[in-house]
Copies of this chain bind each other. A is one copy, B any other.
């Protein structure tokens, strides 16, 4: 359908021949520059985990390569990632006697994704998780905590490896260094204005703006970068782009903040769609339910609201005084519950007493609560009554909720009134001081994106076939997570995809 019309082609050729017009190719797109400013075999867009992995593999295969990053520093959201990666069959799992398999990981991802994940994509990521993790150790030299393996919500076993530094930026730094050693060039402050594709045909390269000053799309100098073999799109999600996210999910207005870095905007989602990619499931936008409106970005309150309150405390609607969701339901269920209440001008808070703090974050996150209190995103109260007074909560209802939970804890019930699994070590909520953080979901992850095949080739919306010269990887792609991206699966996806895309691009 998008093929060059034979009739048009003939008429243009005839005119060109007759009049001496020097047609250099069958392509007549107005976007193809008369001259390219630079040429590389592989042009990688984005310097997060997916782009970094692609660049390391492309250069390892002998390709010349450039990484294009619009922000002043490399890494994107991967820099502010907590460094936890889902891997099956690690030595840590073996040490702890945890039975796991790629099949089990795939089953978890498909089930929690509500059947919207593409089984081929899910299998790809699950089957290559161990290899990807080994690669970060052996090829990049990333150090991992060899004592720990964590269980994130939705996973049926503990399989999350944590970097020794506790952040994802370690992997980025080591990886970018490796890519550079292998000859990759890194261009920061370079904005991709367009991906240049022959009409219905091959992707040729990029129109960029060097010396770009975020977020001014007219800043910088236009240059054309040719990809002799292929472009790899690894531009990440659009969590920070209110206009684009409202187009796909109208309830995520500017009332809601994001955990993402400010450069997580949607211009390349728009461009990818406009050049014939099939952008799927872009309306599945994950919000972190545990975030606080009293601080920017991912923030500190998360550690309190999730690890302490969601596990050992309560989440309460201040208007009714009642709990409103299973505090350990998946992120989608919890965030939607809060978003819908917020859009009705009702406020939700996370509550813990000193017992809850004691059995949760006091030891595992030393000093965390104090930092959050100092920052002003967690608040301290002498009593439950003081909380009720401050947030205008009906005290009798709130007290009844706490009492009901405490009774379940005392009789060692399996689940509480909201269906939450009671945690081992849970204690009744009764000892002050008490602590509160406000809850306002922040946009966290885009599950949808460019549809790809098992080689990470971007598929043409017209034909379902690969677009020649175009690969995609990481959060910019759709089909892996379906309705819900499980915690720790993002690093796995980015590295697995990025490596495949880089290998294939080098051979394209």
A interface residue numbers (CB < 8 A to B): 1-2, 4-5, 7-9, 11-12, 15-16, 19-22, 26-34, 114-119, 193-194, 199, 207, 222, 243, 247-251, 267, 270-271, 273-274, 276, 278-284, 336, 339-340, 343, 448, 451, 459, 461-462, 464, 479
Instruction: Given A250-B116, A284-B283, check contact A30 B15 (CB 8 Å).
Output: no
> In the docked arrangement, what's the CA distance between A248 and B451, Å?
9
Residues from chain B with Cβ under 8 Å of A280 in the complex: 247-248, 282-283
Residue of B nearest to A31 (CB): B5
Q: Given the known A-B contacts A271-B462, A276-B274, are A199 and B1 also in contact in the complex, defined by CB atoms under 8 Å?
A: no
Chain B residues, CB < 8 A from A274 = 1-2, 276, 461-462
The answer to whether B22 touches A9, judged by C-beta atoms less than 8 angstroms apart, is: no
Most chain B beta carbons < 10 A, residue from A2, A339, A459? A2
Report how far A274 CA is from B278 CA in the complex, Å. Answer: 9
Contact status A336-B115, CB under 8 Å: yes
Please pick, from B34, B117, B276, B281, the residue contacting A11 in the complex, using a CB distance under 8 A: B34
| Contact partner, A250, options B11, B28, B29, B117, Cβ 8 Å | B117
* Closest beta carbon of chain B to A306's beta carbon, Å: 23
Listed by A's residue number, 17 A-B pairs whose Cβ atoms lie within 8 Å are A1-B267, A2-B274, A5-B207, A7-B222, A8-B30, A8-B33, A12-B30, A19-B21, A115-B250, A115-B343, A116-B249, A116-B251, A116-B283, A243-B464, A247-B451, A274-B461, A281-B283
The CA of A340 and the CA of B115, in the complex, are separated in Å by 8
Q: Which residues of B contact A222 (CB under 8 A)?
A: 7
Complex CA–CA separation, A251 to B32 (angstroms): 39
Contact between chains at B20 and A8 (CB < 8 Å)? no
Closest 9 CB pairs of A and B: A115-B251, A21-B21, A11-B34, A8-B30, A273-B461, A118-B250, A28-B30, A281-B283, A28-B28
Residue of B nearest to A192 (CB): B1
Q: Are B30 and A21 in contact (CB under 8 A)?
A: no
Additional A-B contacts beyond A1-B193, A117-B250, A283-B284 (10; CB < 8 A): A4-B31, A19-B22, A28-B29, A29-B29, A31-B199, A247-B459, A271-B462, A273-B278, A274-B461, A280-B282
Cross-chain contact A30 with B9 (CB below 8 angstroms): yes
Contact B16 A31 (CB under 8 A): no
Do A8 and B21 touch across chains, with their CB atoms under 8 A apart?
Answer: no
When chains A and B are docked, how far (Å) is the Cα of A2 from the Cα of B197? Answer: 12
With the chains together, A483 CA to B250 CA distance in Å? 12
Q: Given that A283-B281, A461-B274 are known contacts, is A34 also in contact with B22, CB under 8 Å in the complex?
A: no
Q: Shortest Cβ distance from A327 into chain B, in angstroms? A: 21
A459 partner residues in chain B, CB cutoff 8 A: 247
Which residues on the B side are within 8 Å of A114 (C-beta)? 336
B-chain residues with CB within 8 Å of residue A193 when the two chains form the complex? 1
A15–B22 Cα distance when bound, in Å, is 9
Q: Is the CB of A16 within 8 A of B21?
A: yes
A11 to B278, CA, bound (A): 32
For residue A461, which residues in chain B have a CB less than 8 angstroms away from its CB? 270, 273-274
**A270 vs B462: C-alpha distance in the bound complex, in angstroms?**
5
